[in-house]
Structure 1
Amino acid sequence: MSEYEWPAGPDVPAAETVRQCWAATVTALPVGACIAGEVVGRQRFGVFIRIHGVPDAVGLAEVGGMPHDMELPAVGAEVTGKVVWHADHNCQVKIKLDEWDRFE
């Protein structure tokens, strides 16, 4: 998989599965919840995260929350963060990574 492709693979839920499980995901991951997960995809706008313990969720940490002097975590990196918003239109859990908070 190229660094900038949409996340895919055996450990990444299909888009339809994410949509079908969205209500349960929002309940399991309320705003303010702490998460841990693995980066499963990178885009210029942020990283996609496979959230541990919530198999049908996809998190997104966008570059807008990242300090300017940092780089996006690599695919495969283990990350932690906090849920800051739910994007109902595309069923994404918006995440702010803990490592980004240290530079505010």
Structure 2
Amino acid sequence: MDEYGWAASLEMPARDAVRAGWGATVAALPVGSKITGVVIGRRPFGVFIRMDGVPDAIALAEITRMPLGMDLPALEASTSGEVYWHDDRNHQVRVRLDEWQGAPE
């Protein structure tokens, strides 16, 4: 398997559905909310997460929030984190993964 890519067995939410549901996503996941989900995309800058209970939304955990010496989770890995920002331009919920909490930065 390539280090970066998209999970073949997990679908990305439709772009139109993500945009249409953005207001509901922000209301359902205020800053500080805990999320769980599955990694559906792995890129050099971070991972995209399909969140449980919010099928028309996508989360992004960027490496800028990842402590030194840690790795990005693998494709299709279950993960959890905390919402720290809503990116209105890209309709993404930005999260810091729980596994990154408490590690030296």
Shared fold per TM-score greater than 0.5: yes
- 1:46-85 paired onto structure 2 within 5 Å: 46-85=46-85
Point out where structure 2 has 5 or more consecutive residues left out of the alignment: none
- Provide the rounded CA distance (Å) in 2 between the counterparts of 1:33 and 1:47: 18
Secondary structure (helix, strand or coil) at the match of 1:31 reads: coil
Contact 1:85 1:95 in 2 (8 A): yes
Asked if structure 2 preserves the Cα contact closer than 8 Å seen for 1:3 and 1:41, the reply is no
The number of equivalent residue pairs is: 104
1:52-103 CA distance string (max 9 Å, x none): 0111110000000001101100001100100000000010000000000131
Other structure's SS at 1:26 match: helix
Contact kept? 2:7, 2:76, Cα under 8 Å: no
Do the aligned partners of residues 98 and 17 (structure 1) sit closer, same or farther apart at CA in structure 2, a change above 3 Å counting?
A: same
Q: Note if contact 1:48-1:58 (Cα within 8 Å) is conserved in structure 2.
A: yes
Aligned to 1:101: 101
Q: Which amino acid is the alignment partner of residue 96 of structure 1?
A: R
Q: Measured at CA, do residues 57 and 3 of structure 1 come closer, stay the same or move farther in structure 2, by a change above 3 Å?
A: farther
Gaps in structure 1 of 5+ consecutive residues: none
Residues in 1 aligned to 2:9 and 2:20: alpha-carbon distance in whole angstroms:
19
CA distance in 1, matches of 2:8, 2:55: 14
Runs of 4+ in 1 over 2 A off after TM superposition: 1-12
Structure 1 residue 18: Cα displacement: 0.6
Q: 1:23 to 1:3 in 2, by over 3 A?
A: farther
Q: Distance in 1 between the 2:28 and 2:7 partners?
A: 22
Which position in structure 1 is the counterpart of 2:28?
A: 28
- State the superposition RMSD in angstroms: 1.9
In 1, Cα distance between the equivalents of 2:95 and 2:8? 19
Q: Secondary structure at the match of 1:95?
A: strand
